Amino acid sequence: MRKFLEPRPQGTECAVCPIRQFALFKVVPPSYLKDAQSRRTDQYHLPARRHLYEEGDPAEMAFTLFDGWVMLYRSHSDGARQGLRVALPGDFLGYMPPGEGRIHHAAQAITNVVVCGFRQPDLHEMMEKHTELAAHITRIHARYMVSCQSHMLGLGRKSAEQRIAYLIAELYHRLINRRLLPADSPSMPFPLTQEMLGDMTGLTPVHTNRVMRKLRTDGVLATERQRLTILDHARLLEIGEFSATEAE
Amino acid sequence: MRKFLEPRPQGTECAVCPIRQFALFKVVPPSYLKDAQSRRTDQYHLPARRHLYEEGDPAEMAFTLFDGWVMLYRSHSDGARQGLRVALPGDFLGYMPPGEGRIHHAAQAITNVVVCGFRQPDLHEMMEKHTELAAHITRIHARYMVSCQSHMLGLGRKSAEQRIAYLIAELYHRLINRRLLPADSPSMPFPLTQEMLGDMTGLTPVHTNRVMRKLRTDGVLATERQRLTILDHARLLEIGEFSATEAE
DNA sequence: CGGGTATTTGACGACTGTCAACGCCAGTGG
DNA sequence: CCACTGGCGTTGACAGTCGTCAAATACCCG
């Protein structure tokens, strides 16, 4: 285990998002769970802003995110970051198939984070023994791919306002679908800084701010510290062209 | 088989790119090949500009591309298309894991195309029997994901010129890596219209044209009908920030 | 030769980026 | 308790890349 991953201290639960399901194992029969348990490392804690891994790191470990939010991104030569995905509790990060040496993106903790780590070779071995696991990882990847493609459509063809509205709507519905937020809650935890919002949407922090102001003055949403309230849900979906059926 | 897929007439081989390997099966032991052969449909021919499938189609079939180029894209509400990937011979298209009802992108033939189709349920069944196949599809997906992420970095953070240079360099190196083009060939088949180039890079056809003109007058490349010659390979990679190691 | 498609070019405008400055707030240390 | 500091959010002025609109030219195929 990397040295910056330390056992989680008592009483430091992440307030943002407690997890209630663990994506990697929920479809695996209980008999395999023992195998899995014996191979996984303990839960580890990573403070906000630290990296779980960086671009070019050897692909040693994959992680299930138990608690907290993580941003996956790639860097441009001028230092700008392009966000690839906001990982929420239950997400599976950093997996690479056998033979791939290095990971091509970075993962940075947005909040304090709890992960469960697996060694990649152990995962590959388990996948060979348990086809359900292989099928499940394939399914997870296919879903990521679809959301990745929606994201590409946004980056290439949508306006700044549409991209931001889409991202907020997507996060909101993913939280609800995972039971990390009550289905009727108008407000949600929102630990992203405006700079990170810009990273995800391919915008500069300054322009992100302008768009957020517009969404606020238009009465679409309101922000408090680390929280976001959706005032006009229908309009948010309409602006972002997000349909509630497409969230994972 | 869909009605628009017709058996390929004699003597209509696609001149652009003959295939020499079939990605889906090259790692599957010969004993499984018989199983695969018995399940796949025949080879089918699709003329340029026709769709293999469209957004929202039920996910019945997946395809291995034998010959020709295919563009995968998603559409924006205003009708603009965002290209997701240019599929080359050997690529695997349209696969969805079990339980997914509909495909979320469209696939349009750029050139005349030959594909080999598989019914999705057959694929799912085969994957359960043959873990190598499941692992291989996972590997294919992971690779697609990485190139998808490079594409996102480009859409979000690179200039028009960088995106176009990157795309051309990527296509060139993918053709070479698949032995569809001699390693030292300075020129390549290039059946994309400038409009499709713009679709792939998130630009308008007009601006695509301006960038292509600049690349031409700067002596980086030259175009003839359906062909593209790279005059200054080093500079093309430099502009696009493409490193030859990242092509599939 | 004719009609449709693709490419090319110019003028203009808008969306978004850049640069710079200021305010707010939380945490820190005196 | 208060000054200090650093991070984040906010705002304005200005610039530039890229999109829009329109039209002319070149090219392909029947």
pLDDT digit string (tens) for B72-93? 999 999 999 999 999 999 999 9
Domain span holding position A136: 6-153
**Cβ contact A202–B155 (<8 Å):** yes
Give the span between the Cα atoms of A236 and B211, in whole angstroms.
35
First to last CA, chain B: 30
- pLDDT tens, residue by residue, A18-42: 444 445 555 444 455 555 555 555 6
What residues contact residue A236 under an 8 Å CB cut-off, 6+ apart? A165, A168, A169, A220, A221, A230, A242
Q: Given A153, A187, A220, which residue is the final one in a domain?
A: A153
Question: Taking CA atoms, what residue in A is nearest to B106?
Answer: A149
Q: Given A121, A153, A185, which residue is the final one in a domain?
A: A153
Assess whether B187 and B120 both reside in one domain.
no
Here the CATH number for the domain that contains residue B139 is: 2.60.120.10
Contact assessment for residue B116 and residue A162, using Cβ atoms and an 8 Å cutoff: no
Residue B1 lies in a domain: no
Q: Which nucleotides of D are covered by protein (CB under 7 A)?
A: 8-13, 17-22, 27-28
Q: Which long-range contacts (CB under 8 A, 24 or more apart) does A96-102 make?
A: A96/A59, A96/A62, A96/A120, A96/B142, A97/A124, A97/B135, A97/B138, A97/B139, A97/B142, A98/A124, A98/B135, A98/B139, A99/B139, A100/A59, A100/B142, A101/A58, A101/A59, A102/A56, A102/A57, A102/A58, A102/A59
Distance of residue B8 Cα from the nearest chain A Cα, in angstroms: 31
Distance of residue A137 Cα from the nearest chain B Cα, in angstroms: 8
Question: Taking CA atoms, what residue in B is nearest to A80?
Answer: B157
Per residue of chain A (248 residues), give pLDDT as tens.
333 444 444 444 444 444 444 455 554 444 555 555 555 556 788 999 999 999 999 999 999 999 999 999 999 999 999 999 999 999 999 999 888 789 999 999 999 999 988 888 888 888 887 777 888 888 888 889 999 999 999 999 999 999 999 999 999 999 999 999 999 999 999 999 999 999 999 999 999 999 999 999 999 999 988 999 999 999 999 999 999 888 88
CB atoms within 10 A of CB A217: 8
Number of domains in chain A: 2
Q: Percentage of residues in chain B with pLDDT exceeding 70? A: 83
Assess whether B94 and B54 both reside in one domain.
yes
Assess whether A79 and A137 both reside in one domain.
yes
pTM of the model: 0.88
Residue B72 lies in a domain: yes
**Cβ contact A241–B80 (<8 Å):** no
Q: Given B153, B179, B198, which residue is the final one in a domain?
A: B153
Assess whether A112 and A200 both reside in one domain.
no
Query: Which of A77, A97, A152 lies nearest to residue B139, judging by beta carbons?
Result: A97
Which of the residues A153, A164, A243 would you substitute to probe the B interface, choosing the one with the greatest number of B C-beta atoms within 10 Å?
A153
CB atoms within 10 A of CB A57: 19
Give the span between the Cα atoms of A153 and A119, in whole angstroms.
34
H or E element at residue B87: strand B81-87
Q: Name the average pLDDT for chain A.
A: 85
Query: Which of A82, A127, A145 lies nearest to residue B157, judging by beta carbons?
Result: A82
Assess whether B136 and B165 both reside in one domain.
no
Assess whether B86 and B149 both reside in one domain.
yes
Tokens 């102001």, residue?
A: A213
Assess whether A83 and A190 both reside in one domain.
no
Distance of residue B126 Cα from the nearest chain A Cα, in angstroms: 11
What residues contact residue A101 under an 8 Å CB cut-off, 6+ apart? A58, A59
- pLDDT tens, residue by residue, B151-171: 999 999 999 999 999 999 999
Residue A1 lies in a domain: no
